[in-house]
Amino acid sequence: MRVNAKGAGDGTSRAGATGAKEVGRGSTEFARGVAEVAHRAAFLPRSIEWVGGLDGFVSLIDQTLLPSRLEILQCHDVDTVIDAIRRLAVRGAPAIGIAAAMGLVLGVRDFGVGIVGDARNATDAFSATDARNTTGARNVPDTHDARALLLESRRIADRIAAARPTAVNLFWALQRMLTFAEAQQHLPAAELKERLLAEAKAIRDEDARMCRAIGERGADLIGEGCGVLTYCNAGALATAEWGTALAPLYVAHERGRRFTAYAPETRPLLQGSRLTAWELSRAGIDVRVLCDGAVGALMRSGRVQLVITGADRIAASGDTANKIGTYSVACLAAVHGIPFYVAAPSSTFDLATPDGERIPIEERSAEEVRGGPGRWTAPPDVVCLNPAFDVTPARLIRGILTERGLIEPVKGERILAAMG
């Protein structure tokens, strides 16, 4: 279900711009939402949140429509969430993780009402663990126990996990939910469902706190008059609130610092020009969009003093996967002697992956390259490469900003000490 939210690009009032009323909250919730505006980023609705109780839904900004339209997508079932992740209606590593956790709740909340699948047939990552020693869960009645719910959770988690391969937050969030469910399997299923919802909400709230902390720690990297270049969108839209790479910009702006943000458009899906420019300008930050190919010349002109990007997965070595083109930006920054920082919460670190070579890189449809902006940008039958991410080696990264502090220099032992 879709709900229009007022204010896409039109500078509407702050309370109106939260979209709280538009998603149909009750008046008490709406009043609380307005009060929250006083102490959180007030320039756009929450990118993703759960509305209501266990019978509620996931509400998310459909990022495919920005900046033309600000629309809220209401997800009432797990398939809608999986589809939203696949087609980038919800995107950005932390937001994908939150969507996965909330999608899992949608997927299991009605479990036990009808016929369910047989977990013994499961072969995928999350469900296979328990498939060996279960008696199966077919025709589970309303009175099924939490153990059967756990098996179903694993089956649903496998389906969500297949949506996108690179952002580790997706797998991190699902694993956290399953580990939580395992520890609570002595509870009645109804109680466990409520607790899973609370856990999914906690993942969202923790992400907001981590992003705020990244912003507080990173704000002083941005000096008065600084030119700061980011890439793709690692802002409030991509997280629970504030963003990762953009959080220092929001905090510096709050502190009255004047600076200019540069947002390369980020082909092929234009997350930089459509999303970063949209959210920064709504917040009143001076932002300039440029073609991706103009980054080198801009750096050479001396207008960029700092680069901060987000991350989809940081390996144990510090090698970092992020939106395709990030590596080129890092190389250009190195050539021009500009410090290149990555900002990411602990949920984006993957210490089980030793280095960038082992990070799975999503390959997306050629149509995004040939026809992204709505008309042919290449011959319709030409072969296109469309890797969605690339890996920036640790040696090109000056430091990694996290909620736990700045990791600098970027070395495996430093990462282990901070995240292990």
- For residues 127 and 121, give the distance between their C-alpha atoms in angstroms, rounded to a whole number: 9
Interface residue with ligand MRU among 200, 304, 311, 407 (CB under 6 A) is 311
Binding flag, residue 287, ligand MRU (CB under 6 A): no
From the list 67-75, 120-128, 129-137, 237-245, the region that binds ligand MRU by CB under 6 A is 237-245
* Shortest Å, Cβ 91 to ligand MRU: 3
* Shortest Å, Cβ 418 to ligand MRU: 18
- For residues 324 and 390, give the distance between their C-alpha atoms in angstroms, rounded to a whole number: 5
- For residues 230 and 342, give the distance between their C-alpha atoms in angstroms, rounded to a whole number: 10
Q: If you write DSSP's letter for every residue of 228-295 in order, what string do you get?
A: EE--S--BGGGSSSSBSSSHHHHHHHHTT---EEEEE--TTTTIIIIIIHHHHHHTT--EEEE-GGGH
Q: Residue 321, SS3?
A: strand
From the list 92-100, 194-202, 221-229, 254-262, the region that binds ligand MRU by CB under 6 A is 92-100
Q: Which entry of 62, 207, 312, 350 is annotated as an active-site residue?
A: 312
Q: By C-beta, is 140 or 401 nearer to ligand MRU?
A: 401
* Shortest Å, Cβ 230 to ligand MRU: 9
* 328, 363 Cβ separation under 8 angstroms: no
- What residue type is 169 in one-letter code? N
Angle between helix 93-108 and 78-86 (nearest 10): 160
Q: If you write DSSP's letter for every residue of 342-370 in order, what string do you get?
A: EE--GGGEETTS-SGGGS---B--THHHH
From the list 84-92, 115-123, 297-305, 334-342, the region that binds ligand MRU by CB under 6 A is 84-92
Interface residue with ligand MRU among 47, 59, 127, 244 (CB under 6 A) is 244
DSSP class of residue 411? -
Binding flag, residue 131, ligand MRU (CB under 6 A): no
* 78, 110 Cβ separation under 8 angstroms: no
Binding flag, residue 271, ligand MRU (CB under 6 A): yes
* Shortest Å, Cβ 154 to ligand MRU: 25
Interface residue with ligand MRU among 239, 273, 320, 392 (CB under 6 A) is 239
* Omega cis (within 30) before 268: yes
* Shortest Å, Cβ 389 to ligand MRU: 6
Query: Is residue 312 annotated as part of the catalytic site, yes or no?
Result: yes
From the list 6-14, 89-97, 129-137, 290-298, the region that binds ligand MRU by CB under 6 A is 89-97
- For residues 67 and 272, give the distance between their C-alpha atoms in angstroms, rounded to a whole number: 11
* Shortest Å, Cβ 234 to ligand MRU: 4
- For residues 316 and 357, give the distance between their C-alpha atoms in angstroms, rounded to a whole number: 11
215-234: contacts with ligand MRU (CB under 6 A)? 232, 234
Q: By C-beta, is 140 or 163 nearer to ligand MRU?
A: 163
Size of interface with ligand MRU, in residues (CB under 6 A) = 19
CB-count exposure of residue 118 (10 Å: 0-12, 13-18, 19+): middle
Interface residue with ligand MRU among 127, 273, 305, 322 (CB under 6 A) is 322
Active site residues: 312
Residues in contact with ligand MRU by the rule CB under 6 A:
88, 91-94, 167, 232, 234, 238-239, 243-244, 271, 310-312, 322-323, 388
